[in-house]
């Protein structure tokens, strides 16, 4: 039986449109504070560095684009801030992804625009966009360009098999890469104890994470074993007959849905289940989920020929058919060629498997992996400010008040949030900051400088945080310090009072004021214009 994938594509495109929409929404709502001219890592300054790197004003736009793909190279910057263009890209992406989600079909032009718009933001994102799911979204979006007709907006158009196979190959690499990086990495994956720690130490837990952490140890062993089976065994089913491929697709989708409810891992798991949709052909979808589709959808699938193509397609050779065939052939050759370093990495032929790595500027075929090592102890950086002098005539100590971030643990009584597939980028980087010291995270000291300034960073910065103990009435703090705490989930019987317990480890950085010479020198070293007072 020849299989068709017309309805599969509709489901795939709508799922991808949903992830694109969230990604562009995150960019639109947070880039002003993260990348704005008054943000923590200004894109305007970064873009100037890129210009200098490619040869300044003498560099051609296309040559620069090939090194750092962003539409900014082709735009006139007179009188406009770099972030303003990024915001326009985000708005355009929101519009196109909304259109795609509503209609469920597109053409090469629409899918290419979505891809390059997000690439243009990602290229300028610096540390805030340095995670594997950004690259994975770009690769998935690139494959989608080859799933749709060149210029027609026709839901019933034939789905090129090369695009279906490319999605199979993508999810195979994602899952196998994740499984191998675990087995080769942390010992706890080999002795089945990693899930004893994961729910408590993952970047941004949700309320269900607390309950899952308190499961029996034997259940955590079972979870870890299932994880290994899903990531290391079932991906190989794609090389077997249809029933095995279907079971692999359902297994992968179910696995990602479980991960979605167990934590706030941005849109990573939502994105990872999308390629697996391509294992579910039209015949299966109509059999298993007939209530999802209209009568016209069912009729469209039944009117396919033995090649799985709509019978109303243009017979014989045509310009459109020739171009589509050429597009598919070139795509297949490119995927095969670019997969060579990826396969070498999976086999660790260069000595060690790299995780979440691209092998080209356009990030077309990449290697993935997640949680190769598991943090055993959760630590948090807690920012505190005071309006008092550190040395007071009466000998009393200053009162330190804590800042709260959107979702990362702080107040031990605050319920963990549920935000997936949305993503707070500052919260995520604060989790990483706790692993090292402030010298490794200069953006954190820029945040401190903003909070110490007269306007306390203004709206772009306040929008990145959940709560500041200082306002226009109290004025900005005179000093800010960071304390390092170890966080643990509260015991099961203590849930009604607190979600966390915490223990002070020590000082992350000492009290800092704007007139601190070392602080000003630190800012100047990294090119930040710290206010003086």
157-170, pLDDT tens digit by residue? 889 999 999 999 99
The residue among 344 and 322 whose pLDDT is bigger is: 344
pLDDT score recorded for residue 314: 42
What average pLDDT score do residues 107-134 get? Answer: 97
266-284, pLDDT tens digit by residue? 999 999 999 999 999 999 9
pLDDT score recorded for residue 83: 96
Candidates 172, 165, 191, 147; CA nearest to 233 is 172
Cβ(416)–Cβ(427) under 8 Å?
no
The residue among 309 and 507 whose pLDDT is bigger is: 507
pLDDT score recorded for residue 76: 78
Instruction: Note if the pTM is more than 0.75.
Output: yes
169-221, pLDDT tens digit by residue? 999 999 999 999 999 999 999 999 999 999 999 999 999 999 999 999 999 99
pLDDT score recorded for residue 494: 54
23-42, pLDDT tens digit by residue? 999 999 999 999 999 999 99
SS3 216: coil
What average pLDDT score do residues 384-391 get? Answer: 93
Q: Using CA atoms, how far apart are residues 280 and 254, in angstroms rounded to an integer?
A: 13
Is 242 a residue whose pLDDT tops 70? yes
Q: Using CA atoms, how far apart are residues 28 and 19, in angstroms rounded to an integer?
A: 14
pLDDT score recorded for residue 170: 98
Q: Using CA atoms, how far apart are residues 133 and 470, in angstroms rounded to an integer?
A: 35
Q: What is the 3-state secondary structure (H, E, C) of 78-99?
A: CCCCHHHHHHHHHHHHHHHHHH
The residue among 525 and 307 whose pLDDT is bigger is: 525
Cβ(407)–Cβ(465) under 8 Å?
no
Query: In whole angstroms, how far apart are CA 524 and each of 44, 337, 507?
Result: 17, 45, 24
Is 388 a residue whose pLDDT tops 90? yes
pLDDT band, residue 57 (cuts 50/70/90): low
């Amino acid at each position: 039986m020849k299989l068709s994938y017309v309805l599969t594509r509709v489901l795939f495109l709508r799922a991808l449109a949903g992830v694109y929409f969230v990604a562009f929404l995150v960019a639109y709502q947070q880039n002003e504070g993260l990348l704005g001219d008054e943000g923590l890592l200004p894109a305007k300054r970064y873009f100037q560095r890129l210009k200098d790197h490619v040869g300044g004003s003498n560099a051609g736009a296309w040559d620069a684009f090939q090194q750092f793909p962003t539409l900014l190279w082709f735009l006139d910057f007179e009188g406009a801030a770099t972030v303003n263009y990024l915001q326009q890209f985000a708005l355009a992406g929101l519009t196109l992804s909304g259109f795609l989600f509503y209609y469920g079909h597109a053409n090469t032009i629409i899918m290419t625009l979505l891809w390059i718009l997000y690439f243009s933001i990602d290229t300028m994102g610096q540390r805030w966009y340095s995670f594997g799911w950004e690259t994975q979204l770009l690769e998935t979006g690139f494959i989608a360009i080859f799933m749709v007709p060149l210029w027609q907006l026709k839901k019933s158009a034939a789905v090129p098999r090369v695009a279906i196979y490319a999605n199979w190959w993508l999810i195979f690499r994602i899952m196998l890469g994740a499984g191998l990086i675990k087995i080769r990495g942390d010992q706890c994956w080999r002795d089945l104890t990693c899930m004893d720690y994961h729910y408590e130490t993952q970047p941004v837990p949700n309320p269900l994470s607390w309950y899952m952490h308190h499961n029996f140890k034997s259940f955590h062993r079972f979870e870890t074993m299932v994880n290994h089976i899903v990531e290391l065994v079932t991906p190989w089913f794609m090389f077997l007959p249809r029933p095995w491929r279907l079971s692999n697709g359902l297994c992968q989708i179910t696995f990602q849905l479980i991960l979605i409810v167990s934590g706030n891992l941005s849109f990573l798991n939502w994105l990872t289940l999308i390629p697996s949709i391509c294992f579910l052909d039209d015949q299966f979808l109509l059999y298993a989920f007939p209530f999802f589709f209209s009568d016209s959808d069912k009729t469209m699938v039944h009117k396919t020929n033995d090649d799985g193509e709509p019978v109303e397609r243009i017979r014989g050779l045509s310009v459109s058919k020739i171009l589509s065939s050429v597009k598919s052939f070139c795509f297949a050759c490119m995927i095969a060629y670019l997969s060579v370093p990826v396969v070498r990495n999976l086999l660790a032929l260069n000595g060690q498997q790299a995780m979440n790595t691209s092998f080209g500027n356009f990030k077309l075929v990449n290697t993935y992996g997640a949680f190769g090592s598991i943090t055993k102890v959760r630590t948090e950086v807690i920012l505190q400010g005071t309006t008092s002098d550190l040395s007071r005539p009466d000998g009393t100590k200053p009162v330190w008040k804590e800042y709260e971030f959107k979702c990362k643990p702080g107040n031990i009584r605050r319920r963990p949030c549920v935000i997936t597939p949305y993503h707070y980028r500052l919260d995520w980087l604060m989790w990483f900051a706790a692993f090292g010291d402030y010298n490794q995270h200069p953006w954190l000291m820029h945040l401190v400088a903003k909070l110490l300034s007269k306007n306390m960073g203004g709206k772009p910065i306040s929008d990145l945080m959940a709560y500041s103990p200082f306002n226009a009435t109290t004025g900005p703090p005179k000093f800010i310090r960071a304390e390092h705490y170890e966080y643990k989930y509260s015991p099961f019987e203590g849930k009604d009072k607190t979600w966390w317990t915490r223990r002070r480890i020590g000082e992350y950085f000492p009290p800092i004021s704007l007139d601190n010479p070392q602080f000003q020198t630190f800012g100047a070293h990294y090119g930040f214009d710290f206010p003086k007072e």
